[in-house]
Amino acid sequence: MTKYLIRRLIQAIPVVIGISILTYAIMLLAPGGPVQRFANNPKITLAQKEAFKKSWGLDQPIPIQYGRWVGILNPDSQGVGQFLGPNGWPNFLPTPISGATNGVLHGDLGFSLDSGEAVSTRIANAALPTLVLAGTALILWIFSAIVLGVLAAVKRYSFFDQAATVFSYIGFAMPTFWLGIMLILIFGVSLKWLPISGMVNARISPAFGTTDYWTFFGGHPITAILDIAQHLILPVITLVVVNIAGDSRFVRASMLEALGQDYVRTARAKGLPGRTVTFRHALRNALLPVVTNIGLEIPFLFSGALVTESIFSWPGIGRLTIESIRNFDYTILMGIFIITAILVVLANLLADVLYAVVDPRIKF
């Protein structure tokens, strides 16, 4: 198992390197590019400009710029010495060994070109709201997809199954943002039942994520949580409806396959009641591929839902991404890209490991 994990991690390295090159290339090719944005931005201090210029190696050839951004090269040295960090060890090693603090490898993602804040701070602030929204939605949609898919498979060709089929066909074809708009129109504008934007009610509490907010949260936890829950309802419904479609089909197909297997016939021949046959023997097998699928959906918890967050003004990573694209805030985008890509690679690995955990047939 450990051996397998190490092998897989080593295999993932070229992919991650490729992603970082691609990310860097997109930024370089962008019209205007980071340099110009940064130089002309009045919000950025002179000291920041200096630090930026040095750490990004703006006066250096492109390979060196890239090397410094990644953190392989030491911006304080020249020539072959660039590969060594302040402590004399190779620069790419972790900070305690190499003494290096620059580049992605050491957690330095640079400054926002727009606001001048550290990219890592911006991303960290947006990550919690996304985790709340995406996490709630993910749990709900996986749960409902499993229930829906299993019921549809067990009652194959019934009215329920056909209704679920129609629902999922439409869910497939429906753009997320359209559903969001219609929900806002119905429940927000016409019926006025639910809030349609943001994460907290400004009349109840300070802006989410600020120190004041957490003080408020400490004082009135129930009010705060209820407030967030209210704001969660519409975006969560949007995400759940759109995502159930595909996943419930997947569960249904998987369950149908399991129900057709010989061991299900054996279980029935043993005299087990229908419920035991379905929910112990068939479901357990049907969920094996589903578990893998869930593993692959994990990066969503970070990258979030671009459009849903935008429509509902949810202060998460998705909205930060859209805003950064709109403002040409490349450093933030590069940070989000690289983290997402690493998460995708890790999620693939996690999916494999999960599969091995739940399926006794797979051993590494």
Partner 1 sequence: MTQNLSGPTGPEALQDDSAVAAAPSGTDYEVSLKSLSQWELAWRKFRQHRLAIIGLAIMAILVLAAMIGPFFLPYAFDNIPNPDQIVYGGRPPFCATYDNAKHVCQAFGLVHPMGETGGLQRDVLTLVLNGARVSLFLGFTSMAIGVIIGTIVGAVAGYLGGFIDNLLMRIVDVLLSLPLLFVILVVARFFSNAKDNVWAIILIFGLLGWMGVSRLVRSLFLSIREREFVEAARAVGVRDRRIIFRHILPNALSPIVVAASLIIGGNIIGEAFISFLGFGVNPATPTWGNILSNALTFILVGNWWWPLFPGVAIILTVLSVNFVGDGLRDAFDPRSRA
Partner 2 sequence: MTEVISAEAPRGAPPERDILLDVRNLKTYFKVLDGVVPAVDGVSFQLRRGQTLGIVGESGSGKSVTAMTIMRLLDVPPAQIDSSSEVWFDGREILGMPIEQMRKIRGNDMAMIFQEPLTSLNPVFTVGDQIAEQVKLHKKVSKKAAWDRAVESLTLVGIPNPERRVKQYPHEMSGGMRQRVMIAMALSCEPKLLIADEPTTALDVTIQAQILELLKSIQDRTDSALVLITHDLGVVAEMVDNVLVMYSGQVVEQGTVDEVLVEPKAPYTMGLLESIPSVEKRGGRLSAIKGVVPSPFNLPPACYFEPRCPYHWERCRTVTPELYVAGPSGRRARCHLHTPEGASRWPAALEAHRRALAVGRELPVHDPAAGEA
The C-alpha atoms of residue 247 and residue 141 are separated, in whole angstroms, by 8
Picked from partner 1, partner 2, none, the partner binding residue 267 (CB below 5 to 8 A depending on kind) is partner 2
Within a 13 Å sphere around the CA of 10, how many CA atoms are in the beta-carbon half? 6
Contact (CB, 8 A) for 82 and 63:
no
In the complex, what is the shortest distance from the CB of residue 353 to partner 2, in angstroms, rounded to a whole number?
Answer: 17
Among residues 8, 53, 220, 268, which is the contact residue for partner 2, using CB under 8 A? 268
Residue 131, interface with partner 1 (CB under 8 A)?
A: no
User: Cα(334)–Cα(303) distance, rounded to whole angstroms?
Assistant: 13
The 3-class SS string of 202-225 reads CCCCCCCCCHHHHHHHHHCHHHHH
Q: For partner 2, which is the closer residue by CB, 35 or 256?
A: 256
Site residues (CB under 8 A) for partner 2, limited to 272-291: 272-273, 281, 284-285, 288
Beta-carbon contacts of residue 165 (< 8 Å; ≥ 6 apart): 152
Closest CB 18 distance from partner 1, rounded Å: 4
**336/354 with CB nearer partner 1:** 336
Give the residue, chosen from 131, 174, 253, 349, that forms a contact with partner 1 under the rule CB under 8 A: 174
Asked whether position 296 contacts partner 1 by CB under 8 A, the answer is: no
Backbone angles phi, psi at 143, to 5 degrees: -60, -50
Query: Helix (H, G, I), strand (E, B), or coil: what is residue 324?
Result: helix
Choose one: 189-197, 315-323, 339-347, 355-363; the region binding partner 2 (CB under 8 A).
355-363
Of positions 263, 279, 326, 364, contacts partner 2 by CB under 8 A: 263
The CA distance from 99 to 224, in Å, is 43
Instruction: Tell me how far apart the alpha carbons of residues 121 and 119 are, in angstroms, rounded to a whole number.
Output: 5
Backbone angles phi, psi at 265, to 5 degrees: -60, -40
Binding residues for partner 1, rule CB under 8 A, total 43
- Let me know the angle formed at the C-alpha of 47 by 43 and 51, rounded to the nearest 5 degrees: 105
Among the listed residues 7, 18, 143, 260, the single contact to partner 1 using CB under 8 A: 18
Whole-angstrom distance, CA of residue 154 vs CA of residue 152: 6
- Provide the token pair at 91: 């620069």
Choose, by CB under 8 A, the member of 189, 225, 229, 357 that binds partner 1.
Answer: 189
- With binding defined as CB under 8 A, does residue 26 bind partner 1? yes
- Secondary element (H or E) of residue 270: none
Residue 226 interface partner, choices partner 2, partner 1, none, CB cut-off 5-8 Å depending on type: none
Q: Which residues bind partner 1 (CB under 8 A)?
A: 14-15, 18-19, 22-23, 26, 30-31, 169-170, 172-178, 181-182, 184-186, 189-190, 299, 303, 306-307, 310-311, 321-322, 325-326, 328, 333, 336-337, 340-341, 344-345
Q: Which residues bind partner 2 (CB under 8 A)?
A: 261-263, 265-273, 281, 284-285, 288, 358-361
